[in-house]
Chains A and B, each alone.
Chain A
Amino acid sequence: DVKVTQSSRYLVKRTGEKVFLECVQDMDHENMFWYRQDPGLGLRLIYFSYDVKMKEKGDIPEGYSVSREKKERFSLILESASTNQTSMYLCASRGGDSPWEQYFGPGTRLTVT
């Protein structure tokens, strides 16, 4: 089974702090994604990556950056957290034998106060 893990289930940070959200997948997938999930808005794509050191902006990249130094790890960075970034963040990966199927991590609920 594909496993996508995220470093924290719950996180509370203060406005202006730099925040790192980590995601690791164990299936050697090429593609990795970061979404945010908000009530009534569904999932919105923040950034994605097709390969190590590659990154592409999604639909809502403002205020975020990403890093992919190793194939299995994809980090989301909030350079200066703001209250409107309070959300559920979901990581996903895709590739291997099922190139069209996306596997999701459990999510990190981030609260910025």
Chain B
Amino acid sequence: AQSVSQHNHHVILSEAASLELGCNYSYGGTVNLFWYVQYPGQHLQLLLKYFSGDPLVKGIKGFEAEFIKSKFSFNLRKPSVQWSDTAEYFCAVQGGSQGNLIFGKGTKLSVKP
């Protein structure tokens, strides 16, 4: 069965610090990979996605993620975080015949001004 593992439950950073959130998945076939973000009181929204091609994908608000197939990883990065990046971040994998999303447990990011 597919699964997604996010290594950090809660990350606390100061503004301008660099961010890397880990995501590993287990699935042997072709996958689509996503990062979703949920700002406080708001709905879940897509941050970026990887389907194929260049393994370094860029998303909204300066976020990027790198797909490393050999490591089954899809880590999220941002060179310099802002207070407004405070949110919960979810990694998700989509594969198999039904194409349903499997979510990780989420990482809460708190950015101190």
- Taking Cβ atoms with an 8 Å cutoff, the residues of A that contact B are 33, 35, 40-45, 48, 56, 58, 90, 100-102, 104-107
Contacts and interface: CB of A to CB of B under 8 A. Distances in A.
Contacts of B94: 100
Interface residues of B, number: 21
A44 B3 CA distance: 12
Interface string B32-44: 1000100000111
A42 B88 CA distance: 10
B99 A100 contact: yes
Contacts of B36: 104
Interface string B20-59: 0000000000001000100000111110010100000000
Instruction: Give the dominant DSSP class at A's interface.
Output: strand
Given A43-B103, A100-B94, 10 more contacts: A40-B106, A42-B105, A43-B90, A43-B101, A44-B103, A45-B100, A56-B98, A102-B101, A104-B45, A106-B42
A101 B46 contact: yes
Contacts of A102: 46, 101
Given A100-B32, A100-B51, A100-B94, A42 B104 contact: yes
B101 to A, nearest CB: 6
A48 B100 contact: yes
Nearest to A33: B100
B9 interface: yes
